[in-house]
Amino acid sequence: MSDVLYPNHLGIIMDGNGRWAKERGLSRSMGHKAGADNLIKLLDYIYKNTSIKVVSLYAFSTENFKRDKKEVDYLMDLFVTLFNNKLGTIKKNNVKVVFSGRRENLPQKVLDSMDKTIKDTKNNTKGILNICLNYGGDYEIVDMTKIVAKQVLDGTLNLEDITKEVVSKNLYQDLPPLDFVIRTSGEKRISNFMIYQSSYAEYDFPKTYFPDFDSKCLEASLDNYRKRDRRFGNAK
Ligand code: IPE
Ligand code: IPE
Ligand code: MG
């Protein structure tokens, strides 16, 4: 494991649950259930078999509230089950779970299961799982701007002292930059996912729908990552 290059911070835009279900004549909700089951296996693989330290997952965007109430309600119930029960292996794997996104509009039962997960895992040290829920990269920047502006108005921060570090510290989570972002299902867009943190990320857009994106598919994406020439502006 040690001589293989892994990204330090991996982002996964888990897309294609609906199309996976449609192909099988199932409801969209069954696609989400299959996606959640796959996620547990994938995370177990990542934290046990790779040296990836931080995983950011796009679970629900601020825009996803536009979907039918039935689908949104199903997803909210799924999150509660996921956080209260199915993330048990993550907790055992010594992974700290944090959340990014706005709390407003989330049902109380989801907020409670999030809070319990944060509390249960806060002393874990092996890795970090950042779950983006009711998350929008644009809102994250708006919310960070309000916090920083308030500090300037309060007189606790000088305008000249606003640095990249200050910005980073006042985002939802103070995480290292994203090295690699995978979006499943073949869509080639990032749909408002961690736009600040992904400024120098590499991307992969495998065609596989998320419920079928297993550890072999992940390793294939990671092989693509290893072939990239990350220059960060340097001349070669
Ligand atoms: C991603 O799958 C899961 C969420 C957005 C919550 P989709 O539900 O977007 O699946 P497709 O894109 O319709 O196939
Ligand atoms: C992005 O997927 C959000 C998540 C994966 C949670 P969407 O399926 O909602 O994105 P669009 O609508 O295709 O851009
Ligand atoms: Mg989609």
Position 2 pLDDT exceeds 60:
no
| Contact 59 CB / ligand 2 (< 6 Å) | yes
Q: Which of 39, 46, 43, 126 is nearest to 79 (CA)?
A: 39
Residues near ligand 1 with C-beta < 6 Å?
Answer: 14-19, 60, 64, 75, 185
29 alpha carbon – ligand 1 mean position (Å): 10
Which residues lie below 8 Å from residue 191, measured CB to CB, with a gap of 6+? Answer: 13, 58, 61, 63
Question: 93 CA distance to ligand 2 centroid (A)?
Answer: 28
Q: What is the pLDDT of residues 114-156, one digit of tens each?
A: 999 999 999 999 999 999 999 999 999 999 999 999 999 999 9
**High-pLDDT (> 90) share of the chain, %:** 94
- Catalytic residue (one of 8, 64, 84, 224): 64
Ligand 2 centroid–CA 190 distance in Å is 8
Q: Which domains does the chain have, with CATH numbers?
A: 9-136+176-225 (3.40.1180.10)
- 3-state class of 128 per DSSP? strand
Q: What is the mean pLDDT of the chain?
A: 96
pTM to 2 decimal places: 0.97
